[in-house]
């Protein structure tokens, strides 16, 4: 194995970067700001994708695909939308290269596009231009569509999974006959994201709405799930937007109601991305490597045979094969590491680094005793389990670990959530005990901007589960009806 990771307490940012690379999740590519997602990292993303896709389809959505390129003129139709993405857009201006006299490749100046194309940063414009052809009557509604795709948002300061120029995501785009239906859809999908985050990623989240300055460009309201990482910084982990009739008006998408009146369509959009990989890593992992919730681990169990020759390996395989088949029949993913090129100690360290939830070591003595050593990744505890009980034991252990990993993250969030009433206290907590801070805010963009400039903390959300509580803004002393969640963020 390569040299171990730097400790989180020494340099959390470096620890994260090292872990992503050393655990074979991803690496930087030859294209500045872009990443290569390696097979092990992509296997985790595939499990996320498969579960989310099922949840989308269970709520009535279907998948479609829309073009990567968007005519520049489309962005001019929704002013706030173009303002929100203008600085991040990659633009295609020519369609052909040519060879010079010196055998160098250059853009052919004679092959300039009639209209420049934006490389998809998000798809609202191209999709609503398409919906204009799909929608004439209330009978055509609702449209419940999701797209799995890549997007490009030109970033200068990048970090693997968290912020890259190109990333993978899904984007749902729905069209409705009424405002109420569109709002209901927006809320439904943020709840789907929260359910996935907590029940699959084992990552507790807060659901809330964004302030006007933080909401999605072109949205009326943005709902968010906010997670707290181990270093006390927040990570926006999924958003769902009520778009009102903004895009329908921009692209003239109307429908005839049951009363035979012409109305603009109501809309929502929602998405999560490979940023969830970063959230997963930073929520649970430790100084030894990844800690993966069993539901998202590519392999939930690994058997490591300890042998000196082929006869011993064959004897171990004969006993282990029925156990592996029994585990697989219960939907548990298993790997049997028969490599003779690495010692068991190397393999143990490798599987700790990669976050395999359960490791079972089996040697000749274990065959004689009929007991196997079972190690769990989250707590590093080891138990000796009888061969006759091991399948049941592992199945129960995986469920126990999923719950334990979530509870540990939830307790940590509770311990790093503070309630403050004064600005001085707010700034002190930010430095000494970073995490979620519940504080009163006067509701103005000016105060929000001042806090951001002076402390680098932002309003993560106005939590939907917060009770009304009369108070005074910690900065201006003006009246406030409820506390909002502040934090420094990725």
Assigned domain for 103 exists: no
Q: Is 244 in the same domain as 387? A: no
pLDDT in tens, 177-214: 999 999 999 999 999 999 999 999 999 999 999 999 99
pLDDT in tens, 244-302: 999 999 999 999 999 999 999 999 999 999 999 999 999 999 999 999 999 999 999 99
Q: Is 232 in the same domain as 133? A: yes
From 259, 284, 309, give the residue that closes a domain: 284
What residues pair up with 479 in beta bridges, in sequence order?
Answer: 472
pTM above 0.75, yes or no: yes
Q: Is 344 in the same domain as 255? A: no
Q: What is the CATH number of the domain that holds 424?
A: 3.30.110.30
**Residue (of 148, 122, 149, 145) closest to 135 by Cα position:** 145
3-state secondary structure of 383: strand
pLDDT in tens, 115-137: 999 999 999 999 999 999 999 99
Buried b (16+ CB within 10 A) or exposed e, 77-99: bbeebbebbeeebeeeeeeeeee
DSSP 408-424: HHHHHHHHTEEE-SSHH
Distance CA 297, CA 281 (A): 12
| Structural contact between residues 16 and 282, judged by C-beta atoms closer than 8 angstroms | yes
Distance CA 129, CA 373 (A): 60
Assigned domain for 111 exists: no
Assigned domain for 402 exists: no
Q: Is 370 in the same domain as 467? A: no
Q: Is 141 in the same domain as 195? A: yes
pLDDT in tens, 462-481: 999 888 899 999 999 999 99
Distance CA 449, CA 428 (A): 19
Peptide bond into 264 cis (omega under 30): no
| Dihedral sign computed on CA atoms, order 449, 452, 458, 464 | negative
| Structural contact between residues 280 and 25, judged by C-beta atoms closer than 8 angstroms | no
From 230, 249, 284, give the residue that closes a domain: 284
| pLDDT attached to residue 76 | 86
| pLDDT attached to residue 156 | 79
Q: Is 184 in the same domain as 133? A: yes
| pLDDT attached to residue 2 | 55
Assigned domain for 83 exists: no
Q: Is 227 in the same domain as 312? A: no
Q: What is the CATH number of the domain that holds 37?
A: 3.30.930.10
pLDDT tier for residue 85 given thresholds of 50, 70 and 90: confident
Q: H-helix or E-strand containing 20?
A: helix 12-22
From 284, 314, 343, give the residue that closes a domain: 284
| pLDDT attached to residue 339 | 95
Question: What is the mean pLDDT of the segment spanning 55-69?
Answer: 98
pLDDT in tens, 217-235: 999 999 999 999 999 999 9
Q: Is 51 in the same domain as 174? A: yes
Distance CA 129, CA 248 (A): 9
Number of compact structural domains in the chain: 3
pLDDT in tens, 352-408: 999 999 999 999 999 999 999 999 999 999 999 999 999 999 999 999 999 999 999
> Percentage of residues in the chain with pLDDT exceeding 70?
100
Q: Is 256 in the same domain as 126? A: yes
Assigned domain for 93 exists: no
Q: Is 49 in the same domain as 146? A: yes
User: Domain range holding 482?
Assistant: 418-487
Assigned domain for 367 exists: yes
Assigned domain for 61 exists: yes
Assigned domain for 28 exists: yes
Q: Is 170 in the same domain as 21? A: yes
Q: Is 156 in the same domain as 41? A: yes
């Amino acid at each position: 194995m390569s040299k171990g990771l730097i400790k989180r307490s020494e340099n959390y940012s470096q620890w994260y970067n090292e872990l992503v690379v050393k655990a074979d999740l991803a690496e930087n590519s030859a294209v500045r700001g872009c990443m290569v997602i390696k097979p092990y990292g992509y296997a985790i993303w595939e499990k996320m994708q498969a579960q989310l896709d099922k949840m989308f389809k269970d709520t009535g959505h279907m998948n479609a695909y829309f073009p990567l390129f968007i005519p520049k003129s489309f962005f001019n139709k929704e002013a706030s939308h173009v303002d929100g993405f203008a600085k991040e857009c990659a633009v295609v201006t020519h369609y052909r290269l040519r060879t010079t006299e010196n055998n160098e490749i250059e853009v052919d100046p004679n092959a300039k596009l009639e209209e420049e194309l934006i490389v998809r940063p998000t798809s609202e414009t191209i999709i609503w231009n398409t919906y204009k052809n799909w929608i004439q009557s209330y009978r055509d509604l609702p449209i419940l569509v999701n797209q799995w795709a890549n997007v490009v948002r030109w970033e200068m300061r990048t970090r693997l999974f968290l912020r890259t120029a190109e990333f993978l995501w899904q984007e749902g785009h729905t069209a409705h006959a009424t405002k109420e239906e569109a709002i209901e859809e927006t809320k439904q999908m943020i709840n789907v994201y929260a359910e996935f985050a907590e029940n699959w990623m084992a990552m507790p989240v807060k659901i809330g709405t964004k302030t006007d300055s933080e909401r999605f460009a072109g949205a009326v309201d943005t709902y968010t799930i906010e997670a707290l990482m181990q270093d006390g910084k927040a990570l926006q982990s999924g958003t769902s937007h009520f778009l009102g009739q903004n895009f329908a008006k921009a692209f003239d998408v109307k429908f005839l109601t049951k009363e035979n009146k012409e109305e603009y369509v109501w809309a929502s959009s929602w998405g999560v991305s490979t940023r969830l990989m970063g959230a997963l890593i930073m929520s649970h992992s430790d100084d030894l490597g990844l800690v993966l919730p069993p539901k998202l681990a590519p392999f939930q169990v690994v058997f490591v045979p300890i042998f000196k020759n082929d006869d011993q390996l064959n004897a171990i395989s004969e006993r282990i094969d029925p156990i592996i088949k029994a585990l697989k029949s219960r939907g548990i993913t298993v790997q049997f590491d028969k490599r003779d090129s690495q010692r068991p100690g190397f393999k143990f360290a490798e599987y700790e680094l990669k976050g395999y939830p359960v490791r079972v070591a089996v040697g000749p003595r274990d065959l004689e005793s009929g007991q196997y050593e079972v190690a769990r990744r989250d707590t590093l505890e080891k138990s000796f389990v009888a061969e006759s009980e091991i399948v049941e034991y592992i199945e129960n252990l995986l469920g126990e670990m999923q719950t334990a990993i979530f509870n540990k993250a939830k307790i940590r969030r509770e311990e790093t959530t503070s309630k403050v009433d004064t600005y001085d206290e707010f700034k002190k907590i930010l430095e000494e005990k970073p995490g979620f801070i519940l504080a009163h805010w006067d509701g103005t963009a000016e105060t929000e901007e001042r806090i951001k400039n002076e402390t680098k903390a932002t309003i993560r959300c106005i939590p939907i589960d917060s009770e009304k509580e009369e108070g005074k803004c910690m900065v201006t002393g003006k009246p406030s009806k409820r506390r909002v969640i502040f934090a420094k963020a990725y």
